[in-house]
Amino acid sequence: MSWFSNRAQAWVVPQVLLMARPGSEVVLVSPWIDSVRLRPPFYALPQNRDFSNYRLAELLRDLAVQADIHVTLVVRERDQRFARATNYLAKAKPSHFKVYEDPTLHAKAIVTERFVVHGSSNLLERSIHYNAELCSLDVNSYPSARQWVRSHMGLSIPI
């Protein structure tokens, strides 16, 4: 387990998501999700794009379209920030996009079949770039992202 501050999340989150196995599923759990600014590793992305303002919405779309990755979001509610974070994915690859709502959700995690980022930070601009938050990076010892979420968070998303 490695602990890091939220200010590293803009770099850690895209690294973890880009390491997901093609064809697998990633699960993002956060009461609120917005299309936050990210700092992806430039070596992993096409060189003909401007990544200075790369956002979560673009990353989720790119994962689905280019790597056939299925994206599952667990949120407290769908609001206008949620729409900003999911608009590209919902249009580009709706078959690779699922949403579950839990009105009592307080947990936060980004889970792939390989890694888990979890802590106190929502997927919001203030949480990622400004607030004092603490997160950890762990290896996922379960065979899938959903199984980790069900076991560790008690969320009843179908397997």
- Render pLDDT for 50-73 as a digit per residue (tens, 0 to 9): 667 889 999 999 999 999 999 999
Residue 95 CB-density burial (10 A; 0-12 exposed, 13-18 middle, 19+ buried):
exposed
User: pLDDT tier at 6 (50, 70, 90 boundaries)?
Assistant: low
What is the reported pLDDT for 46?
A: 61
Neighbours of 159 (CB within 10 A): 8
Q: CA-to-CA distance for 149 and 107, rounded, in angstroms?
A: 10
- Give 119-148 pLDDT, tens digit per residue: 999 999 999 888 888 899 999 999 999 999
Q: Does domain 2-43+50-153 have CATH number 3.30.870.10?
A: yes
pLDDT at 47: 65
